[in-house]
Structure formats: structure tokens, C-alpha cells
């Protein structure tokens, strides 16, 4: 059992009154990682009001694992939602969002984890600036099973405007907390970079968003090219181009903005392919 799961006790949930936050986790064949993700939510210094686990028709023992986890925590704190057919992370997140009762919704993926003070820091940012519709933060890759420590230093919230979002996606999904009543949802036609379209709709519609300058969540694998497959990058970039075209079709970005973002995207894409080639070369060298 990983240290995070071992050190998590249900009693920790009742130490403080919960924040008005619903945490949503899409789950697909994640029986090996979901307990650690749930533990990272349960260990929050400021607990969330509820945790919604959405099984995306995994077809293995994931759903049974989710119910076992729910039984280990206070009754009603974990809700398990089961989708009848596999529809991708957009549908799973939307299903959790629809079930959510909190004033805010925070997202986490089943193979990622939160730092213990994530919710407390984001709620402080929202108290400091109640007009924010979305608050995010930095993420980094971290070895699975390690216990992060709370930083303690003040976090600064930096506004994120349309210029930043035109160039790249500054909001990792597991970092985002947003208002539940926003008039947007994840577009279920997209199975890649679906989050980028939603963030674009929010920012380009004039809602105010910000990002904390602290790492408050962790990937446990590289956030692109983890499998060393260039086709993964090609598919991701193709989906990104389609998202930008969709924002243009919706009238949320102008044609000059779209053309600029497309040109910048080619430069960024080239850099990522070079980085992937370097990783492959380094791996080949290590094996000789």
C-alpha cells in the first residue's frame, strides 16, 4: 500500500467544516491508481463537501473498487456514478458535474493526485477575489506513492487572459476549480484536449480566470509523449487544431487570432518533436 493511502484516515474528513466544493474524478480501468487519488482528496487540509467518482463503463473491476472505496469513508461523502456505455472523459466529467451540489467543482484524474493544501489555497484565492470564475495552479511530474509537504509560503494568483490561452493550455485539468453554475460543459465530441475547448469558452466569453504560482497537484507520468509514441503527439495536436477551429466557428476568437495561434502552434509542435527525439536518443544510448 502506498504511503499516502496508509496515512489517510476517514476521521481526517471531519476535522474542519468542508469547503463548498464537489470533487469529480472520471474513472476508466483505474483500479490500480484510484485509491491513491481518493486518498489525496481525503487528506486535504480543508476537506471538500463531496467526492464524485464516475465509472466510464470500465468493464473490469473498477466499479467494484469504487464501491469498496466509498464504504471506507464516511457515508455519503463518496458518490459512485456508473455510465451505461463508455463515452470518454468529457461525458464522465459532465456526469459528475451534473450530480455536484457544491458551489464549486474541482477536477482530478484517476492517475493524478492533489497536494494536501490544494483546496485551502484555491478557496483563499476565491475569498480574495470572489469574481473569479476559474482558479487553477501549477502541476509537476512526481514519483507515485510519495507524500508531498505543504509549502506554507503565500501563493500569488495571476490573471490568465485570452492572449495566454491563444498560445497554449495553461490549465491542467487536475488543477482546475470552477463555478458550478457556469453555462458551459465539456464537449463530448472530443476525447482529446476536451478541457482546452472548455477553458477557451470560459475565458473568451469574458469570465475572469487566474492561476496560482504554486504546484498543488501531480502527474505520475509525463504529461505528453510518456509512451514515446509520436502518433500520440500527432493526435493531440490534431485535436488542438480542431478545438481552435471550433472556437473560431463559435465566434469566440477572431480570424487574425486564430491564424496567430495556428502559427505559434507549429513552432511549439516542432519543439515537442525535438524533445521526443532527444528522449528516444537518450534512451537508446543508455541501452548500449
Q: Which residue has the higher pLDDT, 239 or 80?
A: 80
Task: Of 96-105, 174-183, 262-271, give the lowest mean pLDDT range.
Answer: 262-271
Sequence-distant contacts of 244-250: CB under 8 A, at least 24 apart: 246/187, 246/197, 247/197, 247/200, 247/201, 247/204, 250/201
Task: Of 39-48, 139-148, 269-278, give the lowest mean pLDDT range.
Answer: 269-278
**CA 255 to each of CA 111, 141, 172, 246, 258: distance values in angstroms, whole numbers, following the listed order:** 37, 36, 26, 12, 5
| Interval 197-250: pLDDT, tens | 999 999 999 999 999 999 999 999 765 544 434 456 566 667 677 878 888 898
User: What's the pLDDT score for residue 164?
Assistant: 84
Which pLDDT band holds residue 279 (cuts at 50, 70, 90)? Answer: low
Domain boundaries, the chain: 3-219, 230-286
User: What's the pLDDT score for residue 226?
Assistant: 41
Average per-residue pLDDT in the chain?
Answer: 85
**pLDDT-above-90 percentage for the chain:** 61
User: What's the pLDDT score for residue 228?
Assistant: 38
Inform me whether the pLDDT recorded for 182 exceeds 90.
yes
Q: How many CA atoms lie within 13 A of 107 on its CB side?
A: 29
When computed from its CA atoms, the radius of gyration of the chain, rounded to whole angstroms, is: 19
User: What's the pLDDT score for residue 227?
Assistant: 40
Q: Where are the beta strands (DSSP E) in 83-192?
A: 104-107, 113-114, 134-141, 157-159, 177-179
Which of 43, 178, 50 is CA-nearest to residue 123?
Answer: 178
**CA 83 to each of CA 14, 29, 80, 180, 246: distance values in angstroms, whole numbers, following the listed order:** 30, 13, 10, 21, 27
CATH fold of 3-219 reads Spore Coat Polysaccharide Biosynthesis Protein SpsA; Chain A (3.90.550)
Inform me whether the pLDDT recorded for 181 exceeds 60.
yes
Q: Let me know if 231 is exposed, middle or buried by CB neighbors in 10 A (0-12, 13-18, 19+).
A: exposed
| Interval 14-65: pLDDT, tens | 478 999 999 999 999 999 999 999 999 999 999 999 999 999 999 999 999 9
The mean pLDDT of 118-125, rounded to a whole number, is 97
Q: Which residue has the higher pLDDT, 89 or 265?
A: 89
CA 153, CA 170: separation in Å to the nearest integer?
A: 22
The mean pLDDT of 84-99, rounded to a whole number, is 97
Whether 19 and 105 have beta carbons less than 8 Å apart is answered as no
**CA 98 to each of CA 67, 69, 81, 106, 184: distance values in angstroms, whole numbers, following the listed order:** 20, 22, 11, 13, 12
Amino acid at each position: 500500500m502506498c504511503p499516502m493511502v496508509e496515512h489517510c484516515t476517514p476521521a481526517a474528513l471531519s476535522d474542519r467544516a468542508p469547503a463548498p466544493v464537489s470533487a469529480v474524478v472520471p474513472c476508466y480501468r483505474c483500479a490500480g491508481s484510484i485509491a491513491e487519488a481518493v486518498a489525496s482528496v481525503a487528506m486535504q487540509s480543508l476537506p471538500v463537501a463531496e467526492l464524485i467518482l464516475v465509472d466510464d463503463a470500465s468493464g473490469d473491476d473498477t466499479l467494484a473498487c469504487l464501491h469498496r472505496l466509498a464504504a471506507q469513508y464516511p457515508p455519503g461523502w463518496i458518490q459512485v456514478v456508473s455510465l451505461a456505455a463508455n463515452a470518454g472523459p468529457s461525458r464522465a466529467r459532465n456526469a459528475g458535474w451534473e450530480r455536484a451540489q457544491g458551489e464549486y467543482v474541482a477536477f482530478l484524474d484517476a492517475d493524478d493526485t492533489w497536494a494536501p493544501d490544494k483546496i485551502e489555497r484555491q478557496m483563499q484565492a476565491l475569498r480574495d477575489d470572489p469574481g473569479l470564475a476559474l482558479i487553477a495552479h501549477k502541476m509537476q511530474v512526481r514519483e507515485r506513492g510519495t507524500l508531498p509537504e505543504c509549502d506554507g509560503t503565500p501563493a500569488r494568483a495571476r490573471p490568465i487572459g485570452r492572449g495566454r490561452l491563444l498560445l497554449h493550455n495553461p490549465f491542467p485539468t487536475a488543477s482546475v476549480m470552477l463555478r458550478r453554475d457556469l453555462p458551459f460543459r465539456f464537449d463530448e465530441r472530443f476525447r482529446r484536449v476536451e478541457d482546452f475547448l472548455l477553458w477557451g469558452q470560459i475565458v473568451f466569453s469574458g469570465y475572469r480566470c487566474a492561476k496560482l504560482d504554486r504546484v498543488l497537484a501531480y502527474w505520475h507520468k509525463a504529461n505528453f509523449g510518456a509512451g514515446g509514441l509520436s502518433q500520440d503527439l500527432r493526435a493531440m495536436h490534431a485535436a488542438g487544431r480542431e478545438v481552435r477551429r471550433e472556437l473560431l466557428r463559435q465566434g469566440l476568437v477572431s480570424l487574425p487570432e486564430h491564424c496567430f495561434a495556428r502559427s505559434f502552434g507549429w513552432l511549439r509542435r516542432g519543439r515537442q518533436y525535438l524533445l521526443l527525439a532527444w528522449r528516444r536518443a537518450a534512451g537508446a544510448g543508455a541501452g548500449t
